[in-house]
């Protein structure tokens, strides 16, 4: 079975740069992003519409390219976690995690015994259709490759930040900026930036205390450098939708002038 490049990179402390995929369904987006120098792609199926078949196709190609995808499911529950892992997705970006109990359920669904109770299956995209080694060795290796990021998206989630950060099997922490801002009552106001930065700092501090990785979405190179220098390892630069729209908008403006 192949190893997960995301896990290898963060273990070595190497900053990884990726982007959201919200609209493009063609798996060819993956070699394109790799050729552009990116390290991973984050596929959204919470707020976007790709099917599980599309994600499975992308996961298969991602493993062949050694260019990993991270997937945000509609819900971080056993049903979605099982399907994504068995399809060949290593990296889960779990939304709306508010309590330690939710985090524990995610760990249980994503890891085989004795760490969890992930559902058993035969050869699949999640095992690269390999069956070498003993069953115990295969399960232990699979557990090591899975990488779970949890998203704190409500003010109440930060009441449980320490418990979530301390939990074995939770590998990385992040926040959902707009949902969190909405919950805090600061969305679209001058207070939004400072309120989110305060929570970002809380996440970074908790991750350092518990030896976890931090992921952060950014919308500019300046933001990326700022959070990289603060210790963020997984940097998600906006989305393919925003890059396309901004690029064409700038070109059209230039031509019309």
Active site residues: 47
202: which 2 tokens? 């809380």
In 3D, which of 171, 121, 120 has the Cα closest to residue 144?
Answer: 171
Per DSSP (E only), the strands in 86-163 are: 91-94, 147-152
In 3D, which of 182, 157, 37, 33 has the Cα closest to residue 101?
Answer: 157
Give me the residue label for tokens 């232990």.
140
- Dist CA 205 CA 194 (whole Å): 16
Contact 124, 89 (CB under 8 A): no
- Dist CA 17 CA 67 (whole Å): 12
Cβ-count burial of 130 within 10 angstroms (0-12 exposed, 13-18 middle, 19+ buried)?
A: exposed
């Amino acid at each position: 079975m192949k190893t997960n490049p995301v896990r290898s990179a963060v273990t070595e402390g190497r900053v990884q740069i990726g982007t959201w995929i919200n609209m493009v369904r063609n798996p060819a987006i993956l070699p394109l992003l790799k050729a552009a120098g990116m390290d991973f792609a984050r596929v959204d199926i919470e707020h976007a519409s790709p099917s599980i078949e599309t994600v499975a196709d992308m996961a298969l190609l991602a493993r062949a390219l050694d260019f990993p995808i991270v997937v945000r499911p509609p819900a971080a529950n056993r049903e979605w976690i099982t399907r994504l892992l068995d399809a060949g997705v290593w990296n889960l970006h779990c939304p709306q995690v508010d309590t330690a109990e939710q985090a524990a359920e995610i760990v249980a669904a994503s890891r085989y015994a004795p760490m969890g109770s992930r559902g058993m299956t035969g050869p699949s995209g999640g095992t690269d259709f390999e069956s070498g080694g003993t069953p115990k060795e295969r399960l232990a290796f699979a557990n090591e490759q899975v990488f779970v990021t949890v998203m704190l998206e409500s003010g109440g989630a930060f009441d449980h930040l320490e418990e979530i950060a301390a939990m074995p099997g939770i590998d990385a922490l992040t926040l959902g900026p707009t949902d969190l801002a909405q919950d805090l009552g600061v969305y679209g106001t001058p207070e939004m930036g400072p309120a989110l930065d305060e929570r970002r700092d809380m996440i970074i501090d908790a991750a350092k205390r518990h030896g976890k990785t931090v992921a952060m979405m950014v919308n500019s190179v300046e933001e990326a450098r700022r959070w990289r220098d603060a210790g963020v390892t997984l940097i998600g630069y906006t989305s393919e939708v925003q890059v396309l729209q901004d690029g064409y908008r700038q070109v059209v403006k230039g031509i019309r002038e």
